[in-house]
Structure 1
Amino acid sequence: MPAKFQCFFLVACLTFGILCAVGGAGGHDKSDSSETAKKPLRVLVFSGTGDYRHPEIPALNRWLVLEGTRQGMVMDVTEHHLDLKAEVLDRYDVLLLNNANGLSDVLPEESRAAVEKWFAEGHGIVGLHAALVRQQKWPWLLDLGGCDFDSDSTFQKAKVIVDPAAKEHPSTKGYGPEFWYKADWSNHTRSVTGLPGVRVLLRVDETTYEPVREFFQKLGGKPMGKDHPIAWTTEKHGGRFFYTELGHDVRSVDTDFGRQHVFEGIRWAAKPPVMPRVLLLGDSISMGYHSSVVDALNGEAVVIRPEENCEGSTKGAAQIAKWLALEGGNFDVVHFNFGLHDVKRVGADGQGSDDPDDPMQADIATYSRQLKHIVDAIRASGATPIFATTTPVPAGKVRPHRNAADVDRFNQIARQIMAEHNIAINDLNRFSAPKLDALQQPVNVHFTPEGSRALGERVTAAIRDALPRKAP
């Protein structure tokens, strides 16, 4: 470590690893929320490398510590995996990866798992320059970053373009719509534009510089073309991720823009993610498409559903208050369906019956009354309701017995109730009816895995349309 890096390093075998402490680096008790709010932001800088080690890493660590201190932050530096475990990570708001590449060769599985768990609890990660280099063996980080490394340029001046939707982001505010900047620009394996949870902040215009330096030209390195993001944010897996191509060396960040960009990025990452909350209510059909909706909305919304089968409107009316309070409640959107259990025949014991002469679980008047109660509860909660029509009953001896015509009658009543309250309808019945042979199991109300995914796509689209639009 060069002498100019003015930090005190603890010996790994004596404590938790190579921990650089500046301005009182010991852990703080976060039990008092009022005191925590007054404490400075705490950032753990990790600069261990499993691939090429940038010679400027020590100087960048020094710059981060000194500039961070000037900005009122506590910056600690480490290169030991023992510092990436729960009891240490819990002292920090943000983990900053300073050119920390090839981390699967640096961090054992337990350290990577600890980082993932810590991040999922609402913390933030910031990646500088080579933080997205050779991370293929850590799928979680590769997914979080959205891409890996292909090649890079030399240190050059280039035109930087601020994404119009990011002009108010604190890391870019005051710059744009375009400006010139000098840095070493990386080419990634793909553009992150449009990936779930990703918001591009900056792009670089490749026509204004040579994007692939000679070394990588000989290795087949490729430029990215017209869509070359160089800074972006990701909100998924429970936390916030901020990445910038700046940080190959100190000169790329030690400017007015560089300081704002990096440290406002840190502050942004330190804030708990604020994502819309979605509640899914329904029977086993809903349970079938639930995972598809969760995956599709990862990074866009928190999707919750009861672990139990919500069954019919009788159970729904009794349990709706409990479900609306799940995991803190306060849902932005509730996507719900009741009907398939209501129309099934039940015996004297209340269990499903194959006898078409037995009564339905809920007659149409009872269904109407109970569905209105459910709707009133959802509306009173402040959430935006979306009703999904009940999917069809196929031909044949479906067990327990259900009549296809009953589904149509119950859906008609549901449509009337939703129209009275101007509630959006996701017509899964109309969507699936023409293609039941391809989507539904034979002589069964349940859907194939492919059918559940198809329903999940429709549900995802309906929820997306209803989600509140986020501010920068």
Structure 2
Amino acid sequence: MKKLLFAVFGIILVLVIGVVAAFLFDQPQFISGPEFDHAPPTVELDAESPALLVFSKTNGFRHKEGIQAAQTFLHHLAQERGWQIVTTENGAVHNPQDLARFNVVIWANASGPLLLPEQRDALKSYVENGGGFIGIHAAGDGSHKDWSWYQNTILGTAFIGHTLIPHKQNATITLQQEHPVVRGLPATWQHYDEWYAFDRSPAASGATVLLNVDENSYKPGKFTMTPDHPVVWVKTAGKGRTLYSALGHSAKSFDTPEYQQLLTQAIQWAGKLSPQER
């Protein structure tokens, strides 16, 4: 009997170790920080063409794969469109003088408590006075909950968890509403990602939900939001336009044509970069 119990225990232990190892080695992240920046970086821009600020500082989980893929895609996009782009992990770039030079601020998998109080105030003022803001994936995880304006105004909901076994899965995205950000996208498409879940729909806080994920198309585990599971939504904050996308954990996300189109149109909309978006 003891031998049987030891054998069963050994099998369970091996399985647990295997699952944990698979999760850790398949998830390109580490925990860092918190560290804060006081001196801003040098920002070199001209006044002629639109400018994007891509911010990927991590004082929480670092999505190395997703950060690199987002930066690569956004740099190629900016080059194609004739947009200027600045990529930094220096939180002190969030000051009134520097932010005023950008059409859109993009938090690409930025995580953790990132900004000093005056830097938070600068971003809030920038957005409410007409600046565009886009948050990608970890920009909406649970590590931002100590900043009430960001949590309530930008996100409008709270992260509760994500898929675990496996944490990245194929699932079906469903279009919920017509909007310039999703113009021309199909009614459904397949997307490979880690799927975030939230405590409520951001629609209750005034957001317009653009895309849902169909929970019947993957294994959500205990983190469900039936019947509606939003993954992309837009909001206004004062005069500013904001978008949050829960998509973007893996590099493969940024190779998906539909997601590339969505991010392109999101930048145009949030930054009012085309005549029809002004």
Q: TM-score by structure 2 length?
A: 0.77
Which residue, 97, 103, 106 being the options, matches 1:93?
A: 103
CA RMSD of aligned residues (A): 2.4
Residue of 126, 141, 145 corresponding to 2:134: 126
Quote the residue 1:159 is aligned against. Answer: 172
What is the total number of aligned residue pairs between the two structures? 233
SS at match of 1:64: helix
Matched, 1:16 2:24: no
Q: Could you tell me whether the CA contact under 8 Å between 1:94 and 1:124 is conserved in 2?
A: yes
For the residues of structure 1 that align with 2:73 and 2:183, how far apart are their CA atoms? 23
Residue deviations 1:34-91, cap 9 Å, x none?
Answer: xxxxx43211011112211112223432332223222332121111122110111111
Query: Which residue of structure 2 lines up, in the alignment, with residue 52 of structure 1?
Result: 61
Q: 1:187 to 1:78 in 2, by over 3 A?
A: same
Q: Is the 8 A contact 2:130 2:239 kept in 1?
A: yes
CA–CA distance in 1 between the matches of 2:50 and 2:104?
8
User: Counterpart amino acid of 2:231?
Assistant: I
Partner of 1:258: 259
1:243 is the counterpart of 2:244: yes
1:106 to 93, 109, 114: 114
- The equivalent residue for 1:429 is none
Give the conservation status (yes or no) of the 8 Å contact 2:174–2:212: yes
Tell me the equivalent position of 1:207.
216
Q: Give distance in 1, aligned partners of 2:230 and 2:213.
A: 7
1:226 match:
227
C-alpha distance after superposition, 1:165-189 (max 9, x if no partner)? 32xx233222232232222221122
Structure 1: distance between partners of 2:205 and 2:73: 32
Structure 2 residue runs without a partner (length 5+): 1-36
Cα displacement (A) at 1:253: 1.8
Q: What's 2:22 paired with?
A: none
Using the alignment, how far apart are the partners of 1:236 and 1:110 within structure 2? 19
- Structure 1 unaligned regions, length at least 5: 1-12, 20-24, 30-38, 213-220, 273-470
The partner residue of 1:27 within 45, 52, 55 is 45
Deviations 1:154-212 (A, max 9, x none): 2222121111x32xx2332222322322222211222112322x111001110110124
Q: Is the 8 A contact 1:60 1:249 kept in 2?
A: no
**Partner of residue 31, structure 2:** none
Q: State, as a whole percentage, how many aligned pairs show the same letter.
A: 30
Aligned-partner Cα distance in 2 for 1:236–1:207: 33
The letter of the residue matching 2:56 is S
Q: How does 1:288-437 map to 2 (within 5 A)?
A: none
The yes-or-no answer on 1:41 pairing with 2:53 is no
Following the alignment from structure 1 to structure 2, what is the Cα–Cα distance between the partners of residues 200 and 193? 6
Cα distance, 1:245 vs structure 2: 1.7
Distance 2:44 2:183 in 1: 34
The equivalent of 1:381 in structure 2 is none
Deviation at 1:136, TM superposition (A): 1.1
Asked if 2 retains the 8 angstrom alpha-carbon contact of 1:203 and 1:230, the reply is yes
Superposed displacement of residue 257, structure 1: 0.9
C-alpha separation in 2, matches of 1:241 and 1:139: 16
- Residue-by-residue CA offset, 1:222-278 (whole Å, 9 max, x unaligned): 222211011010012331101112211221022221211111111111129xxxxxx
Q: What is the DSSP-based 3-state SS (H/G/I as helix, E as strand, rest coil) of the residue aligned with 1:171?
A: helix
CA distance 1:46–1:251, change in 2 (3 Å): same
Q: Among 71, 83, 86, which residue is 2:93 paired with? A: 83
Q: Which residue matches 2:73? A: 63
Distance of 2:49 and 2:250 partners within structure 1: 26
Q: CA contact under 8 A between 1:253 and 1:262: conserved in structure 2?
A: no
What is the distance in 2 between the residues matched to 1:208 and 1:152?
15
Q: Deviations over 1:97-127 (max 9, x none)?
A: 011122xx32100100011111111011001
Decide whether the 8 Å contact of 1:123 with 1:271 is kept in 2: no
